[in-house]
Chains A and B, each alone.
Chain A
Amino acid sequence: MTAAAPKPLLRLARVSKSFGGITALSNVSLAIRPGRMVGVIGPNGAGKTTLFNIVTGALRANSGEITFAGEPITSWPTHRIVRAGIARTFQNIRVFAGMTVWEHLLVAQPHRGTGIRRFLPARWADPAAWARAEDALVFFGLKDYRARIARTLPYGMQRKVEMARAVTAGPRLLLLDEPVAGMNHDEADELAALLKDLQRRGLTILLIEHDMAFVMKLCDDLYVLDFGALIAAGAPAEIRSDPKVIDAYLGSEA
């Protein structure tokens, strides 16, 4: 990276993590610049989800440093990391079982103002949050499903609810764990358009994905993990022709 490049929003410096004797991540360093759409690819078990878990504080790295927007977040509790501006979705959908779509959009919003308003009916105690939830409902095309229990919706729709929940948390960095897994072609296209739109609104996006066509089309930068180690980083075109990546992951077809 050249000296002229903007300061990275998220930086991992030599992060390692092992479970018992198994190394999940070894000396991974990366720098995500603000406003970019960045993909993390690699075969199953390469450590991609572990990477997300460590960034969000769900797991602790054995060694290494993580900085977000200049702050050392390595040992922060999860809720503090989230409030600093990192939100995520999950590989296997995790919507709240008892909540409607609408409630998902309200619950994740960061607290603004203090004290007593948290205890009062949200509709009039926090009209701003109410309005933002309304916006998100429209943006994600969920208006017709407002009062539905999220878990009763079709799979692709649940993914959208999960993503909308993450976005309403007001992140600067959005981590998406296989956002188009299980979606059909049209749904994936629609999601890609949504992500582009979010990026245009200033969001930095880091996503794990197996759908190569999707990643190559959408991402500005790619990182390739294999057996917990970073084996390549660069623009999609460079990655596609990198012999190490072809060997480890893409195969000769790509």
Chain B
Amino acid sequence: MSTYYAGLLADVGILLLGAFSVYIILATGQLSLGNAAFMAIGAYVASFLTVEADWPLTPALVAAALACCIVGVIVGFPALRLKGIYLAMATLGFGEMVRSFFLNFERMGGAGGFHGMKHVSLPYIWAWAGGVLLLVIAVERSRLWLEMRAIHDDETVAGLIGVDTTATKVGAFGVGAAVAGIAGGLFAHQHVYIEPANFGFERSIDLVLAVILGGSTVGAGALIGAALLVLLPEWLRVLADWRLAAFGALLIIVLLTRRQGILDRPLLAKLTRGAR
């Protein structure tokens, strides 16, 4: 495989993990526009541990995920009081807050960025991405996931059938943040250089876009979304300067024709039935 495609596939894997972080939180009806911040925390924690503390990458990623999980739970509590657009704005603010924190955090390079990480292999990235994908697909068939969907559809009624909505929503934030942390740690070791600008608002939007485009009701949708988001602008290179405009137009067309995203439950059921 050429290094060109290896790099793109690595980006797909990392974006897939980032998209899952949004997907898990969105499954409980909460839209987070600040998940790049969790990626940033994951990237900086993992990089610090591998470069400065000489940890192997895997435990460093686990530690990064745990750190992000704790931050996610802390963010999850005030998020309980906010809904829809207000929650989106608050998480956006959180994202900018974290970004400017790292901008001023000279210990980790500040605006100049941080480097010294060892490059990771493509199979290693996809071991994480594939592992989380399988985990999401399994959990999607669980009672817990049904309860999350119940909260997504009608939080009041979910409480009235015995779902602990507080614990479930905060938990989703924690787990989503942890997955974003892994994505961030892998990003740092794929690009071997990080700076706060890597984890701005655009990154958060990319994560949400992958979910919305691929299909926000099934985990496998994130895979399609992540792949399209990375590969489509590359394939459109023949259009030169117009490629991003063309990409935007394609995006609008998809969302106009399939509001639920490319993949949804009925389509997935049809496809898996056909395979049998």
A118 interface hit (Cβ, 8 Å): yes
Given contacts A106-B146, A108-B162, A165-B161, contact A99 B141 (CB under 8 A): no
Contacts of A107 in B (CB 8 A): 143, 146-147, 149-150, 161, 163
- Mask, B115-152, CB within 8 Å of A = 1, is 00000000000000000000000110111101101101
Given contacts A94-B157, A99-B149, A107-B147, contact A125 B142 (CB under 8 A): yes
B234 interface hit (Cβ, 8 Å): no
A242 interface hit (Cβ, 8 Å): no
Contacts of B139 in A (CB 8 A): 119-120
Give the interface residue-count category, chain B. 20 to 34
Q: How far is the CA of A78 from the CA of B142 in the complex (A)?
A: 23
Contact of A169 among B153, B156, B162, B164 (CB under 8 A): B162
B240 interface hit (Cβ, 8 Å): no
Contact B149 A58 (CB under 8 A): no
- Mask, A42-77, CB within 8 Å of B = 1, is 000000000000001010000000000000000001
Contact A87 B149 (CB under 8 A): no
Given contacts A79-B165, A107-B150, A126-B143, contact A56 B138 (CB under 8 A): no
Contact B160 A82 (CB under 8 A): yes
Contact B217 A79 (CB under 8 A): no
A220 interface hit (Cβ, 8 Å): no
Min CB distance B18 to A, Å, is: 22
Instruction: Report how many residues on chain A are interfacial, defined by Cβ distance under 8 Å.
Output: 35
Q: Which residues of A contact B (CB under 8 A)?
A: 56, 58, 77-79, 82-83, 87-88, 90, 94, 96-99, 103, 106-111, 117-123, 125-126, 129, 165-166, 169
Q: Which residues of B contact A (CB under 8 A)?
A: 138-139, 141-144, 146-147, 149-150, 152-154, 156-157, 159-165, 217
